[in-house]
A and B are shown apart, each in its own frame.
Chain A
Amino acid sequence: MTVASQSGQYMERPSSGGLADVVGLILDKGLVVDVYARVSLVGIEILTIDARVVVASVDTYLRFAEAVNRLDIARSGTETRGLPGLMEEVSEGGAQSKTKGALEGVKEVVGNILPGVGDEEDEEDEEELEPEERPRQRSRPTSRKDRGR
Chain B
Amino acid sequence: MVSCYVYGVVPGEQTSTEVEDLPAVANAQEKISLIRHRKLAAVVSDMSTERPLGTPEDLRAHARVLDTLAATDTPVLPLRFGTVVKDAQSAGRMLADGYDHFMAALERLQGYAQFTLNAQYIQDAVLREVLDERPEINQLREEIKSLPEEASYYQRIQLGQLVTEAVSSKRDMASAEIQQYLAPLAASTATSPPTADEAAVDLSFLVKHTQRAAFEQAAEDLARRWHGRIRLRLLGPLAPYDFVADAMADTGEVP
Contact = CB atoms under 8 A, between A and B. Distances in A.
B45 interface: no
A71 B131 contact: yes
Given A38-B84, A106-B56, A61 B63 contact: no
A31 B189 contact: no
B80 to A, nearest CB: 4
**8 closest Cβ pairs, A-B complex:** A43-B52, A61-B160, A37-B90, A11-B223, A37-B86, A64-B160, A10-B223, A65-B160
Interface of B: 3, 6, 8-9, 49, 51-56, 59-60, 62-64, 77-87, 89-90, 93-94, 97-98, 116, 118, 120-124, 126-128, 130-131, 137, 141, 144-145, 156-161, 163-164, 167-168, 179, 183, 187-200, 202, 213, 216-217, 219-220, 222-224, 227, 231-235, 238, 241-242, 244-246, 248, 254-255
A147 B188 contact: yes
Nearest to B195: A98
A34 interface: yes
A35 B200 contact: no
A11 B78 CA distance: 27
A31 B80 contact: yes
Interface string A90-108: 1101110111110100100
A5 B255 contact: no
B82 to A, nearest CB: 4
Contact of A61 (B145, B157, B223): B157
Given A8-B223, A31-B77, A80-B123, A137 B196 contact: yes
B193 A144 contact: yes
Contacts of B124: 71, 74, 80, 91
17 contacts: A5-B216, A7-B216, A11-B232, A11-B234, A12-B233, A31-B248, A32-B83, A38-B90, A61-B157, A64-B160, A64-B164, A67-B123, A68-B130, A69-B144, A80-B124, A90-B121, A110-B55
Interface in A1-53: 5, 7-8, 10-14, 16-17, 19, 21-39, 41-44, 47
B80 A32 contact: yes
Contacts of B248: 31
Contacts of B187: 149
A98 to B, nearest CB: 4
B194 A140 contact: yes
Contact of A8 (B8, B126, B220): B220
